[in-house]
Amino acid sequence: MVTFVSNAFCMKQEYVQIFDTTLRDGEQVPGCKLNKAEKLVLAKRLDELGVDIIEAGFPISSPGDFEAVSDVAKTVRNAIVCGLTRAVQKDIDVAAEALKPAKRARIHTGIGTSDSHIQHKFRSTREKIIERGVAAVKYAKKYVEDIEFYAEDAGRTDNAYLAQVCDAMIKAGATVLNIPDTTGYCLPEEYGAKIKYLMEHVPSMHKATLSCHCHNDLGLATANSIAGVINGARQIECTINGIGERAGNTSLEEVVMIMRQHPNLGLVTNIQTQMLSETSQMVSDAMGMIVQPNKAIVGANAFAHSSGIHQDGVIKNRETYEIINPHDVGVDTSSIVLTARSGRAALAYRAKKIGIELTKDELDLAYAAFLTYADKKKEINDNDIPEIVKNAGISL
């Protein structure tokens, strides 16, 4: 049985590295390809946001991506710049070339390790897959010290074999072991148990970092990544707005805010959280991909209250219905939205904001008029309020 709160009462703070793959896995969203200039703007932003690693692309995939990775490598000042490869020498040569200008570079190489990938994709054997992985890591090591190895489909890979893979890659020189739940299949308890198993059964584990790379096919990417770091992983791979292949990747803003809002996990990051909202908008604009309004942390409704009971509470004290201060993620203020479900307190609050102070009797009259309007209109805005008040027979 895996414990999800193994270090809940430990006061020691452990650092979790944030590996942003918005520009690589995130960019694999159909129709959301970024050009070189767009990638560069976002890379600078991610660097300012405080991510530890920027996966800038897959250099062998196209000349445009090669140049984009190279430009990002020339520009980024703080973060490590990483390029993806298959366990293929040519991929590694090209990635190394693209990463040459980086102050700090990482090559991310790997191969599928689940029986499904080994049999159907590679028509190979477990032993040969380890040999190919080891050869790729050793080859990449010629170019850079920092090598991350991904065991693709680790989520469905047998744990004992995965431990052998990790040990062999660390011995070959890998500094980070990426454990992707490529198909988004794992349950949080299962993914947490996998990380715990590797922490305990890979003899050379003390020489490397385990990384969580979770996809969201069952809506569990965030939960799985958090289960991973609770059980010993110290890097999370994620994207802004959770964009990525199919149902997407782990959302950066979600994992970062979970660790921040739950200090007794004892896990910290370097993310400047006040930049999250604007960064989300920048990615959304560049990709032409709207953020769903109810998206945690960065959705338009994340700090909007529309039911009368909630509004009354928030107006009295924000913390009655908000667990995050909107300022902490770069949102100016919580909003009180006027709909047919709103109460008197919300109408009085919004009217006061535009300079209309209503007495108790006036509020009763105005509220009756408001409900008639609100039943016809989805949302009442500031321009509607004076008209509602006048129609209730109140002179302004």
Residues within the interface to Zn ion (CB under 5 A): 25
> If you search the block for the tokens 């958090």, which residue do you land on?
226
Q: Which is nearer to Zn ion, 7 or 183 (CB)?
A: 183
Tell me how far, at minimum, the Cβ of 81 lies from ligand KIV, in Å.
16
178 belongs to the binding site for ligand KIV (CB under 6 A): yes
- List the one residue from 85, 157, 182, 235 that touches ligand KIV (CB under 6 A): 182
- In the chain the first and final C-alpha atoms are separated, in Å, by 66
- List the one residue from 19, 139, 149, 150 that touches ligand KIV (CB under 6 A): 150
Residue 150 binds which of Zn ion, ligand KIV, none (CB < 5-8 A, kind-dependent): ligand KIV
CA–CA separation, 104 vs 221, rounded Å? Answer: 28
Q: Which listed range, 125-133, 174-182, 198-206, 216-224, lies at the site for ligand KIV (CB under 6 A)? A: 174-182
**Long-range Cβ pairs for the range 311-318 (8 Å, 24+):** 311/336, 311/342, 311/343, 311/345, 311/346, 311/349, 312/343, 312/345, 312/346, 315/345, 315/346, 315/349
Tell me how far, at minimum, the Cβ of 129 lies from ligand KIV, in Å.
14
350 belongs to the binding site for ligand KIV (CB under 6 A): no
213 belongs to the binding site for ligand KIV (CB under 6 A): yes
Tell me how far, at minimum, the Cβ of 210 lies from Zn ion, in Å.
16
Element holding 294 (H helix, E strand) = none
Q: Cβ(289)–Cβ(29) under 8 Å?
A: yes
Tell me how far, at minimum, the Cβ of 77 lies from Zn ion, in Å.
26
Q: Which is nearer to ligand KIV, 144 or 265 (CB)?
A: 144
Question: Who's near 120: CB < 8 A, 6+ residues apart?
Answer: none
- Spatial CA neighbour of 17 closest among 68, 78, 70: 78
Q: Which is nearer to Zn ion, 25 or 153 (CB)?
A: 25
Q: Which residues bind ligand KIV (CB under 6 A)?
A: 25, 150, 152, 178, 180, 182, 213, 215
